[in-house]
């Protein structure tokens, strides 16, 4: 568990459409998912690296031991 949670997700209805983001702990991995609506972009900061994302759905997998580096 991270901060007492095994899974967290959220969504917001933006002017471009539905934006979704979340993570779940699965064995020794943290799986991050996000969906960016059409005609929108986002920056995901994960493990100290910036990921520029366009419209679509994404999944990133990180070692759970590195989660303490996430801001």
Q: Are 44 and 60 in contact (CB under 8 A)?
A: yes
Q: Using pLDDT thresholds of 50, 70 and 90, give the confidence band for residue 64.
A: confident
Q: What are phi and psi of 8, to 5 degrees?
A: -140, 140
CATH of domain 7-69: 2.60.420.10
Compute the distance between CA of residue 60 and CA of residue 1 in angstroms, rounded to an integer.
18
pLDDT digits 0-9 by tens, 18-57:
999 999 999 889 999 999 999 999 999 987 889 999 999 9
Strands 42-46 and 56-63: unpaired
């Amino acid at each position: 568990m991270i901060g007492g949670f095994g899974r967290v997700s959220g969504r917001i209805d933006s002017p471009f459409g539905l934006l979704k983001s979340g993570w779940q702990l699965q064995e020794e991995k943290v799986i991050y998912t996000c969906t960016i609506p059409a005609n929108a972009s986002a920056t995901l900061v994960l493990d100290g690296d910036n990921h520029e994302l366009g419209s679509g759905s994404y999944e990133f997998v990180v070692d759970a031991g590195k989660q303490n580096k996430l801001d």
